[in-house]
Structure 1
Amino acid sequence: MGQLTRLFVISRVFFMVFLISGTAVGETSPIVPVSPASVSVLGAAPDDEIGQAIQAQLEPLQSAFPPLLTSRKHQRVDVARVVLDFYSHRNFRAAWMNGRDVSQLLKGLDDTQADGLVPADYRAGELAQAQLALQATAPTPAQWAAFDIAATRTYVTALLQLRRGKVDPARLDFHWNFEPEGIDPREDMNTFFTALDDHDVARAFAQAPPQEAVYRRLRESLAQLRKVRDAGGWPKVAEGQSLKPGMDNAAVKQLRARLEAAGYLDPHKSKRTDYDDSVIAAVKKYQFEQYLGADGVAGAGTLAALNVPVEARIDQVRVNMERARWLLYKLQGTFVIVDIAGYKVALYRDGQPIWRSRVQVGKPFRSTPVFQSEITYVTFNPTWTVPPTILVKDMLPKIQQNPGYLAANRIRALDRQGNTLDPSTVDWSNARGITLRQDAGPDNSLGQVVIRFPNDYAIYLHDTPHRELFSKSMRATSSGCIRVENPLQLVELLFNDPVRWNAAGIQRQLANGKTQNIKLPVKVPVLLAYWTVDLNSDGRVTFKPDVYGYDSPVLRLLNQPSKLPALELQRAEPSLVVTGQDTL
């Protein structure tokens, strides 16, 4: 036993597993004890000896953790701590001595591919080989113990990644603040381990992923895209020239085949070569759903989108399934959600959408951040204080070129004390200490109303005089804030007061011309999220341009191995050799 203990002391770092979960999961603390059911033992070694071996192999972990872990932002579930707590509460009794449980575990690991994860991450093949080796020989208690611990660690890792996500979004965005309020990781652990004790591991794998309909539809879309891939992919369309109505050639035949494969064109017409009205309608529908500008002409942008390999679209769905594991738990009750990449906003009540509108979001170099907050008040007839970045990069060049720019746009220059300055007396080549503020009015950059929520980015929802931009397909046109096409409708719904704050009451408030802040009677959660797929009412998945380039970093981390310890039975040694790294 001394050699085994030394081995696990050396490998101690490999057990310090921090699950890169999809959401912050609160303080990591011991799981609540469960009542293990009896198990049928396949091996010859008695349970008590295996339990002693389990305890010995976990002994280095017992000194690795403090009695209580202090709470910190973005706390991740520590799998090693979960494993230690699990065995401690069951007096280190083995959990995987029933062969059926192991078979269900292996199948569950293989089935994670349906959720866009990679089964090889979990070393299922090594577990299967180790199980066969244990059953074919006379294993020592130490070998049984090491296999049992490895199976538990893998079980917890896979289920938590299905439940909360594999990638930690806080690694991608330091300001990530979607805290999982009301979600207790201990409850998840108890659910998983109760299923194990009930010999129903399959139930744990079925219940771990999000159960919302949108997630099921993403899973179905992923399966369908993989069928397309396995059948050879989508037909290619020759690029190099725009395909237009009235044309009749082989490239149009390819276009028809591609549109038919995606469900946009009647399959009975796909073999023709002419660009008729049916092709125009199909191309317009495709362009509209792909945010390309629906003109019915298959130009360079449309052809490039059509020719994106199905493998890339599979990865795009996988990335958005990961985002769903991060966020779907937040989409409950009443809330506002801004779909940044989709240029739209929706208000949900009792979990159902009751209002939608188009929005304009930040330009790629002034991207709208991803975060959550609560809408607390509305500003009617707002003034606009020009943010420092816009002042330096946008306003100063205009003022320097046109001294009358400020007056033409009803913008006042203020000193540090808030006193109005004569613009002609300001040295605009050195405008330190100067604040620019635009007076309220119909041409104000914030329009008639601002919907405000606390955040560190000076971001809010607001009206805009630039209404012509809502007709564009790509609407990354603002300096970071969210311009809403129909903001007064949203304000009415947020107040939810048909007596005072109906449409007429809001118009009366605007008519007085005063800049005034009015608190909402109830705070409303607002989530600024980023999705690059849409699910249509007919079940089809469509793809948005990744305007901020956020998909690639998620995909890179999603494809990285979880680095669970390797598992190898060696006949010459009475133990399992642990190699590799155990940090997810």
Structure 2
Amino acid sequence: MKIIRSAAIVALIGGCAIATMDVRPASALTLMDFIRGGKKRTSPEYAQPARPLPGVGMIMPQQIDPRTAAKPPRVTGPRYYTYKAEPLRRIATDHLLDPIVTGSVQNGALPPMLRPPLSDARQFLPQINVRATEGVAKAVENYYGSRTDFVWINGSGVSARAKSALAVLAQAAKVGLDPQDYAVQVPSDTFDRGDMIAREKELVQFELAMSVATLTYVQDTVRGRIDPNKISGYHDFKRKSVDLFAFLDKMVGSDDVAALIESQNPKSEQFQALKLELERLRAQTDATPRVEIAPGTLLKPGESNPELANVIAGIKLKASESLKTEHAVVLASYQGTPDYTPELVSVVEAFQKEHGLKADGVVGQASIRVLTGGDTTADKINKLEIAMEQARWLPDGLGNRYVFINQPAFTASYTDQGVEQFSMRVVVGSKTNQTYFFQDEIQTVEVNPYWGVPQSIIVNEMLPKLRSDPGYLDRMGYQVEVGGRVVSSSAVNWYGSTSSVAVRQPPSSDNALGELKILFPNAHAIYMHDTPSKSFFKRDQRALSHGCVRLADPRRMAAAVLGTSIDDVGKEITSGRNKALQVPQKVPVYVSYFTAWPNKTGSVEYFNDVYDRDTYVNRALEATRNARRAEG
């Protein structure tokens, strides 16, 4: 094998593309594709097209002067947006006034002292100014436009039902929401009984405001405060719908409105674990000792660095008692010198192994995170609130059987019968080629797969080489199609459009997808697959692919979703034939992004925000808060 001479080549090792144009789902380019670029292979037979095809039979690349030719185009991936929060509008209270419905005709001739309380209160509706989002406003308008009764007021005051509901809204922070979003000005129990008109106006104002606050809470806790699809092109969710009119009607007939409202909160065990962790953190004072290590510190064996003293201090604080006992002599004799000696390297390696890190003695970002205790309490609370918001985008309860990929954790787990069966390391998209956040269903396992090269890789990475060496793909054994017809790579005009050009790599030992791929058809060409680049799984930071999810143990995952044994999967692979195996029953898969998430024991773990997505969620939440606080 040739020696790798450039780090840039390593960056091209397989994964999936972040953007595609008229191509089949694909992964990424293998290292072997480039380092064997000059190796002769037997080219497949190419069918000659009966008629001219786009990009074929036109001006050949060698006839074009590269100095005057246009630069190769670029295929770009999704982008992040400036979040635009849903605006509030005034509820059309003037449309709710109906003299027949309000009873003002019936009671108009009665003296004020003889009229039933609130019997004419609806006449004040046009004077009420309450604002809400479109969905909530419509539900309130429809309800009060078809009902004569009030929900939250009776006699001359606030009802017990309202007080129960207010108690739930006031505790919104416990479920990761902002109580200010549901704050309502409550009329005082003391008022001027000589001015019942003013009192009834105040109560009607409260009535509508209370309905808006309650429905907003219910909608927020069911589906989340923000629309994930407005955060970035990497978010892909069908937003949940909530029948607010029916819920308002249901509250009228409920004997326990507080329990009814609280029942709308997510009930999954993962959400409950996040909720308990949030409560625990808010109760503590953040007095836990911490060690500070300078940002950007990278300490390698044999080097000298003043931050070494803080590293050893972190080990003394965070290591287990057994580790500290085993290395007691070295730790006790360390005098704070900057020299990273072999004895200290052994201590660091033991600490890394104890915390599931790569035990290489190199102190980098992952090790520093553990040594310093990771996030502050405030940071963890923020991650929990974001996680609870994002959990609402998913089904309430992930199911009894599913695959859960958490990108910041670089893991994929398989759950059956409601119990996590196993978890494995994965490689996800790099920051440039990010993996999407969505859910789908696994349908197929393909053994000895073809790799269809996506347009983003053809254009961004292959095209510059193909313009100078049109026969490159022929020698590499790739298959090229133009308009659906197989042609020679050297016959394609690589200076023209590639939109009708498809490239795929046949099954082989160095195929970018390895032995198999696990498919859940989606618009993003994302799937799970094997890889010949096993060394990447040893790294702590594994955002390295073109977008797809590479599995450390693909045979085990394939066997799980197929409901068969690992040996049976191995036999299919050993046959050497490309074959699609349908899963007996579709398996939900969550390609998720949580920087705080419970493990199988229910303990919440925290992870680095590898794509900085939490920043954009925070911005979206802030925009939502500002929109809801805006004066109408």
Paired position in structure 2 for 1:459: 526
SS at match of 1:117: coil
Change (3 A) 1:434 1:59: closer
What is the TM-score when the length of structure 1 is the normalising length?
0.72
The one-letter amino acid paired with 1:14 is R
The one-letter amino acid paired with 2:521 is P
Change (3 A) 1:50 1:331: farther
Alignment of 1:532 with 2:595, yes or no, is yes
* Contact persistence 1:534–1:541 (CA under 8 A): yes
Alignment of 1:209 with 2:269, yes or no, is no
Match 2:580 to one of 512, 517, 526 = 517
The one-letter amino acid paired with 2:450 is T
Alignment of 1:121 with 2:181, yes or no, is yes
Change (3 A) 1:284 1:46: farther
Looking at structure 2, the residues matched to 402 and 244 of structure 1 have their Cα atoms a distance apart, in angstroms, of 41
The one-letter amino acid paired with 1:237 is E
SS at match of 1:92: coil
SS at match of 2:140: helix
Match 1:145 to one of 204, 208, 229 = 204
Paired position in structure 2 for 1:573: none
Paired position in structure 1 for 2:568: 505
Larger radius of gyration: 2
Looking at structure 2, the residues matched to 87 and 366 of structure 1 have their Cα atoms a distance apart, in angstroms, of 50
Task: State the 1:531 CA deviation.
Answer: 0.8
Looking at structure 1, the residues matched to 536 and 138 of structure 2 have their Cα atoms a distance apart, in angstroms, of 53
Task: State the 1:118 CA deviation.
Answer: 2.0
SS at match of 1:93: coil
Higher relative contact order (CA 8 A, sep 6+): 2
Match 2:517 to one of 430, 439, 450 = 450
* Contact persistence 2:121–2:201 (CA under 8 A): no
TM-superposition CA deviations, 1:69-90 (whole Å, max 9, x none):
xxxxxxx981122223444564
* Contact persistence 1:115–1:321 (CA under 8 A): yes
* Contact persistence 1:53–1:141 (CA under 8 A): no
RMSD of Structure 2 on Structure 1 (CA): 4.4
Task: State the 1:444 CA deviation.
Answer: 0.7
Task: State the 1:387 CA deviation.
Answer: 0.9
Task: State the 1:211 CA deviation.
Answer: 1.8
SS at match of 2:177: coil
Match 1:373 to one of 414, 435, 440 = 440
Paired position in structure 1 for 2:504: 437
* Contact persistence 1:368–1:480 (CA under 8 A): yes
Paired position in structure 2 for 1:329: 396
Alignment of 1:553 with 2:616, yes or no, is yes
Looking at structure 2, the residues matched to 445 and 12 of structure 1 have their Cα atoms a distance apart, in angstroms, of 50
Q: Could you tell me the percent identity over the aligned residues?
A: 26
Task: State the 1:162 CA deviation.
Answer: 2.4
Task: State the 1:171 CA deviation.
Answer: 1.8
Looking at structure 2, the residues matched to 437 and 16 of structure 1 have their Cα atoms a distance apart, in angstroms, of 59
SS at match of 2:90: helix
Paired position in structure 1 for 2:242: 185
Task: State the 1:558 CA deviation.
Answer: 2.2
Change (3 A) 1:520 1:217: closer
SS at match of 1:83: helix
* Contact persistence 1:447–1:463 (CA under 8 A): yes
Alignment of 1:235 with 2:298, yes or no, is no
Paired position in structure 1 for 2:606: 543
* Contact persistence 2:346–2:361 (CA under 8 A): no
Looking at structure 2, the residues matched to 251 and 351 of structure 1 have their Cα atoms a distance apart, in angstroms, of 43
Alignment of 1:46 with 2:106, yes or no, is no
Paired position in structure 2 for 1:36: none
SS at match of 2:400: coil
Task: State the 1:540 CA deviation.
Answer: 4.3
SS at match of 1:419: strand
Looking at structure 2, the residues matched to 564 and 248 of structure 1 have their Cα atoms a distance apart, in angstroms, of 45
What is the TM-score when the length of structure 2 is the normalising length?
0.67
The one-letter amino acid paired with 1:580 is E
Change (3 A) 1:260 1:484: closer
Change (3 A) 1:160 1:434: closer
SS at match of 2:421: strand
Q: Which moved more, 1:485-494 or 1:83-92?
A: 83-92
Q: Determine which structure has the larger helix proportion and give its number.
A: 1
Looking at structure 1, the residues matched to 346 and 253 of structure 2 have their Cα atoms a distance apart, in angstroms, of 59
Paired position in structure 2 for 1:109: 169
Change (3 A) 1:487 1:411: same
Change (3 A) 1:223 1:150: same
Task: State the 1:208 CA deviation.
Answer: 2.7
SS at match of 1:113: helix
Change (3 A) 1:132 1:242: farther
Task: State the 1:111 CA deviation.
Answer: 1.3
SS at match of 2:518: strand
Looking at structure 2, the residues matched to 388 and 561 of structure 1 have their Cα atoms a distance apart, in angstroms, of 37
Task: State the 1:550 CA deviation.
Answer: 1.0
* Contact persistence 1:234–1:310 (CA under 8 A): no
Looking at structure 2, the residues matched to 504 and 231 of structure 1 have their Cα atoms a distance apart, in angstroms, of 51
Task: State the 1:440 CA deviation.
Answer: 0.8
Alignment of 1:15 with 2:91, yes or no, is yes
Looking at structure 1, the residues matched to 619 and 279 of structure 2 have their Cα atoms a distance apart, in angstroms, of 21
Paired position in structure 2 for 1:580: 631
Aligned residues: 500
Change (3 A) 1:450 1:474: same
Looking at structure 2, the residues matched to 44 and 541 of structure 1 have their Cα atoms a distance apart, in angstroms, of 61
Looking at structure 2, the residues matched to 96 and 50 of structure 1 have their Cα atoms a distance apart, in angstroms, of 13
Task: State the 1:321 CA deviation.
Answer: 1.2
* Contact persistence 2:411–2:425 (CA under 8 A): yes
Note the residue ranges of structure 1 that are not aligned, 5 or more in a row: 1-10, 18-42, 65-75, 567-578
Change (3 A) 1:511 1:398: same
